[in-house]
Amino acid sequence: MPALEGCIDVDVSVTPFTSTLPIRRPGLAPSESAEISVAYIEGTQLQVWPEPQRYTCMKQGDRGGLYRFVSIDGGFTADLPVVDDGLVLDHPGLFRRAVA
């Protein structure tokens, strides 16, 4: 599909797990950013389009970190706390990890 050329990652709207891929892949240090183009899959209607996004590492520690997510064309911004392996703990307005 030519429209998705250059999209390295996939962002499936119905799961927070896809944010882990662009968080881990570039290995960002605090204050570094990466702009990527993802193949965004809207989960309820299964439509796909390229979506430019930016991830900025706000802080890192032994137990995890904090990344700022920006949907460049969509205007959505969220600060995503992650555990040490990059798994998102809370995606405001969408998902929150349940603690047992």
Determine whether 93 is exposed, middle or buried from the number of CB atoms within 10 Å of its CB (0-12, 13-18, 19+): exposed
With b meaning 16 or more CB within 10 Å and e meaning fewer, what string describes 9-36? Answer: bebbeeebebbbebbeeeebeeeeeeeb
What confidence score (pLDDT) does residue 55 get? Answer: 95
Residue 71 CA from chain centroid, whole number:
9
**Percent of the chain whose predicted confidence (pLDDT) is above 90:** 42
Query: Across residues 27-56, what is the average pLDDT?
Result: 91
Is the CB of residue 57 less than 8 Å from the CB of residue 76? no
What confidence score (pLDDT) does residue 99 get? Answer: 66
Query: Across residues 13-32, what is the average pLDDT?
Result: 87
Query: Across residues 75-94, what is the average pLDDT?
Result: 86
What confidence score (pLDDT) does residue 100 get? Answer: 53
What confidence score (pLDDT) does residue 4 get? Answer: 92
pLDDT at 36 over 90: yes
Can you give the pTM of this predicted structure? Answer: 0.86
